[in-house]
Amino acid sequence: MKLYEVMGTQELTVLDDNSKETTLADPKNPSIKTVIQKDPSKPGMIKADEKGEFVLDPKQSGEVEKGITKGSKVKIAQGTM
């Protein structure tokens, strides 16, 4: 079970971003983490929307957007929870 499934959180904060994975946490409870693998064949895609905001689609396979950094805010895509 993932953080967004339990908490109903709409926005997460990037704790770490490296070549293998991106680690996200709820700003209200940073001890619970969600890890998004950077393998494009695995579910969990983070991309920038038309406003330039990062959006997580946990069910769709894809890549993590380049340029994401520690402290960035990531919204959870509508209809994926």
pLDDT in tens, 20-70: 999 999 888 878 898 999 888 988 899 999 998 999 998 888 888 888 999
Q: Establish if 25 belongs to a structural domain.
A: yes
Question: Which residues, 6 or more positions from 24, have their beta carbon under 8 angstroms from its beta carbon?
Answer: 3, 12, 13, 14, 15, 33, 34, 35, 36, 56, 74
CB 56 within 8 A of CB 73: no
Q: Establish if 50 belongs to a structural domain.
A: yes
> How many domains does the chain contain in total?
1
Q: Establish if 22 belongs to a structural domain.
A: yes
Q: Establish if 81 belongs to a structural domain.
A: no
Q: Establish if 12 belongs to a structural domain.
A: yes
Residue 9: pLDDT band with limits 50, 70, 90: low
pLDDT of residue 32: 85
**26: containing domain:** 3-76
